[in-house]
Amino acid sequence: MTLETPDQLRLNIEKSHAIASALFPHEEWIPHGKGIFVAKSRLIEEYREPDKWEREMSQVRILTSRGSAAYFLPEQEIKGETGKRYADLVLDGTVMEMKTVSGTRATLGTQFKYGYKQGSLLVENCSLTKEHSVFIWLLSDISVGSVKAKIAGELKNRSDKGSFLCFFEKTGELHFWTYEELRAIITKR
């Protein structure tokens, strides 16, 4: 996460645009608020699924209010997996999937794994980045330590680069850990 300065925001926009355009070279990017750009083909979601659209915009505003730049990617199915889609966006030059979780630690783990897979499949053939991250808006009352331990366990035996971001709705806190930091918890045990 970055501190908001005009230069940092500009840099984040440039990095995000480069990755989004490399992944979807024929897409047009429409500004949709400070630091937010949306694939023209995805704008239909605003009208087709207004509740989902509003939830995703609320989630991304948590991040862009801190100086990040987000490019919402086209809604595209993962080849061979009907109904499953690639990651939602590029944030500050990193592919990211966003999830909202209101269940147990097990639900948190399942949603993280699914978001992780969505990001990893999208960057698989991208020459500009292999980094992908997951952002979870946590509605459940699970402690920071418990969330951190659960995600660390999900990252065991994985080597991808990226970050896990979690917004704790109950406290209004945003936490950020790299996958490397989380994997280190497992190796210390």
- Whole-prediction pTM: 0.91
Number of separate domains in the chain: 1
pLDDT for the residue numbered 46? 72
Please, what's the b/e burial string for 124-140 (b: 16 or more CB within 10 A of its CB; e: otherwise)? eeeeebebbbbbbbbee
Residue-range definition of the domain harbouring residue 10: 6-188
List the one residue out of 144, 171, 153 whose CA is nearest residue 110. Answer: 153
Of 121-130, 162-171, 175-184, least confident by mean pLDDT is: 121-130
Listing DSSP states for 56-123 in one string gives: HHHHHHHHHTTT--EEEPP--BPTT-TT-B--SEEETTEEEEEEEE-S-HHHHHHHHHHHHHHHHHHH
- The verdict on residue 111 lying in a domain is yes
- The verdict on residue 1 lying in a domain is no
Checking if the pLDDT of 175 tops 90, the result is: yes
The CATH number covering residue 21 comes to 3.40.1350.120
- The verdict on residue 110 lying in a domain is yes
99 within 8 A of 112, measured Cβ to Cβ: yes
Please state the rounded mean pLDDT for residues 157-177.
95
pLDDT for the residue numbered 188? 64
- The verdict on residue 21 lying in a domain is yes
pLDDT digits (tens, 9 = 90+) for 54-112: 999 999 999 998 889 999 999 877 676 666 678 899 999 999 999 999 999 999 999 99
Q: Which two tokens stand for residue 17?
A: 């645009």
